Structure 1
Amino acid sequence: MVDDRDDSGLPNERSRSFGRGSPGARGSRNMIQPDAVAKPPSRSTSVRNPFIVAGNAIFVILMLLAIGGYFGLRQFTTPGPLTAAKTVYVPKGSGRDEIADTLEREGVITGATTFTTGIFLLGRGKDLRAGEYAFQPNVSMYDVMKTMLEGKVIQHALTIPEGLTSQAIIDKLNQDDLLTGDAPPVPPEGSLLPDTYNYERGTTRSAMVRRMQDEQKQTVEEIWKQRAPNLPLKSPAEMVTLASIVEKETGQADERPHVASVFVNRLQKNMRLQSDPTVIYGMVGGKGRLDPTQKIDTSWKSPFNTYTNAGLPPSPIANPGRAAMEAAASPLATKDLYFVADGSGGHAFAATLDEHNKNVTRWRQLQQQGGDATPAPVADPPATPAPAVAPAPAAIPAPVGPAAA
């Protein structure tokens, strides 16, 4: 028999620990179980806040934009690729992307995308003006934008000489390749102001005509208000008609008031004007020059023939300039009724028929000697015939002077 006591007589603890249901058995099971692992600390509710999450995302985005903006700004403001001055034309109606593509294609900027992004971020994408621009070498994108925002387009000059007919002015507009669009119908004679006009490439021909008409209307009103008293002119239209005759009779500025006085004196005396340019206008209809082989026919049946018709012609015979209109409105105070070329480019004036005949004789002598017996040249001159020599019938005084169209 086996005794579960040890040598000391005490119960054997080892055997007792394996007993069924003994406390030792329960303790043994507790000893082999692993230690409990501590739970990880829970995240702060503030970290999970959607506003903070969104704020962090926005911060990152702003940082990236700032970095990109810095490098973009450097590229936007650094010197560009253009190595020499260049003229670039941006057609009207071009959008932001079209403008950028044109500038890149012409070598003014390095990248169209950088340019469009830059002007978009600056809020000026819709403010760029189309037109023709002159860019200097190494111009930056920023300076390109500034130039186009200010509309510093190239200005071209169109000079309309005094004394051109309306048909001739329309022809001149049609010959200008920088203008666009069809010209309007030929305006009335005398309704356009000859001058030098600055304009942008791409301006329409119709716009140029309207501008000339507006300038003429304003100039006529201004001069008419300052006219001399007791003029034999009933309206601004008659002033323009007289000015057109003065314009075609002389090309010397200092002679215009004197020539105007001759016609004013004739009108006051009910004398026929006998101006060769009016006859020429009636013969060619204001559409061209008189054929050099064709002589002036003072008997030509036309309402513009001031040899056969009293008073002013029915309309101007050309478009006079400001100086000619001022001369017609404020002529020189003289008693002269005649003038003829004096061989120096100007004219000899006379108050009597006898003195005029003497001037004509001297003029013909100069012709025979090979001297300069023609009037000063003016725009679009026709052939210059020799004037008839007085005396003439009482109803038709001797000619005022030679033609100077």
Structure 2
Amino acid sequence: MARPARSTPARRFGCVILLLGLAVAAFVGFRFVIGWTEKGPAAQDVSITVREGATLSDAAVLLKQAGAVRSADAFLTRAKVFGGSKPIKAGEFHIPAGASNSDILSILQGGKTVTRLITIPEGMPSILVHERLMANDQLTGTIPVPEEGSVLPDSYAFDKGEPRVAVLKRMQAAMDKELAQLWPGREPGLLVKTPREAVILASIVEKETAVPAERPTVAGVYYNRLRTNMMLQADPTIIYPITRGKPLGRRIRKSEIAAVNDYNTYAMVGLPKGPIANPGRLSIFAVLHPEKTRALYFVADGKGGHIFADTYQQHNENVRKWFEIRRARGEL
């Protein structure tokens, strides 16, 4: 009768090692799985910028540097196992504090990037557009002052670290596109013969009234004046050669009203040499679709708008009322 084989110390030790190995493997596997969805190490929100053409490996290194993951290699491996084949997007991404590996990959694959905007208000002159772009510390590089009237006022998205010249090109391309769309649909028989002339007149309309509903009427007044060879007599055209569109900060002097230059419409008939600001869509549209009016004059009404008049006599009475309002306010 055969005796059962006795367990030798070496065999018992081998079994222990095997069991320990299995336990370690199980623990590592458990940690690998849990590490995909457990809370991440970032104590606060972080941002990373994934450049166009960057790989998931590149993004993993950025995440590690930002403190959003514990290990770039571990994140990359888990992403390949659990994340599927959907590619990551380019752009700047906001990673919330404590985001898991799974959350982070969803963010990168979803393409919901951080939106940064720079706004150019209607009627902003190019010298101030330049200052606004140069003052934004999220942009890089330098730019010259853009040509007046070449920028379409709007809010523009940009990426952190993007060159200023690229943002400016988008602003100018938007103006070119807007003019290309609006110009063909203009009213027939307009006195402006080119898109540039339309921008010049629109820039004056823009600076003369902040009330959108008045812009077609103001445009109609200026067309009436151009048609009868009257001077436009727009105060903003006096200021532009002095400040390049920045606020004057004082009352206009008599010598400045009489100054002869390429912009002052108190000393010349017709349009000035060029735009005096960057007009918005509504002012351009108003110039291309002016109101049919007999009015030749307008003056402030004290409420933010204007009163229009067909005759000089009516206009003088409106001016008298405006001066009464200013005296009552203590402005005179």
TM-score band by shorter chain is 0.7 to 0.9
Distance 2:182 2:217 in 1: 18
Percent identity between the two aligned chains: 39
1:290 is aligned to 2:211: no
Partner of 1:188: 147
What secondary structure does 1:89 align onto? strand
Which ranges in structure 2 are unaligned for 5 or more consecutive residues?
1-24
Shift of 1:269: 1.3
Distance change in 2, residues 1:243/1:347 (3 Å): same
Asked if residue 141 in structure 1 is aligned to residue 126 in structure 2, the reply is no
Structure 2 residue aligned with 1:233: 192
Distance across 1 between alignment mates of 2:126 and 2:34 = 53
Aligned amino acid, residue 147 of structure 1: I
Residue from 370, 375, 383 that aligns with 2:329: 370
Query: Shift of residue 255 of structure 1?
Result: 1.1
Show the 5 A alignment for 1:91-240: 92=51, 99-119=59-79, 127-129=87-89, 131-182=91-142, 184-240=143-199
Equivalent position of 2:304 in the other structure = 345
Match of 1:320, SS state, is coil
| 1:130 to partner: Cα distance | 5.0
The AA in structure 1 aligned to 2:247 is R
1:36-61, CA deviations, whole angstroms, 9 ceiling, x for partnerless residues?
A: xxxxxxxxxxxxxxxxxxxxxxxxxx
How far apart, in 1, do the equivalents of 2:155 and 2:287 lie? 22
Residue identity matched to 1:290:
L
Query: Aligned pair 1:320/2:279, yes or no?
Result: yes
Question: How many residues matched?
Answer: 307
Letter in 2 for 1:205: R
Give the distance between the partners of 1:130 and 1:222, measured in 2 at CA.
31
Q: Which sections of structure 1, spanning at least 5 residues, go unmatched?
A: 1-65, 374-385, 387-405
Q: 1:91 to 1:295 in 2, by over 3 A?
A: farther
Q: 1:126 to 1:275 in 2, by over 3 A?
A: same
Q: Does the Cα contact within 8 Å between 1:82 and 1:136 map onto a contact in 2?
A: no
What's the TM-score, normalizing by structure 1? 0.68
Higher helix content, 1 or 2: 2
Counterpart residue type for residue 252 of structure 1? V
TM-score using structure 2 length: 0.82
Q: 3-state SS of the aligned residue for 1:170? A: helix
- 1:107 & 1:83 partners in 2: Cα distance? 6
How far apart in 1 are the matches of 2:181 and 2:127? Answer: 26
Q: Which has the larger radius of gyration?
A: 1
Query: Which residue among 64, 74, 77 is the counterpart of 2:33?
Result: 74
Say which SS state the counterpart of residue 174 (structure 2) adopts: helix
Cα distance in 1 for partners of 2:66, 2:194 equals: 55
Aligned position for 1:308: 267
Distance 1:168 1:124 in 2: 48
- Output the CA distance in 1 between the equivalents of 2:154 and 2:28: 51
CA RMSD of aligned residues (A): 2.9
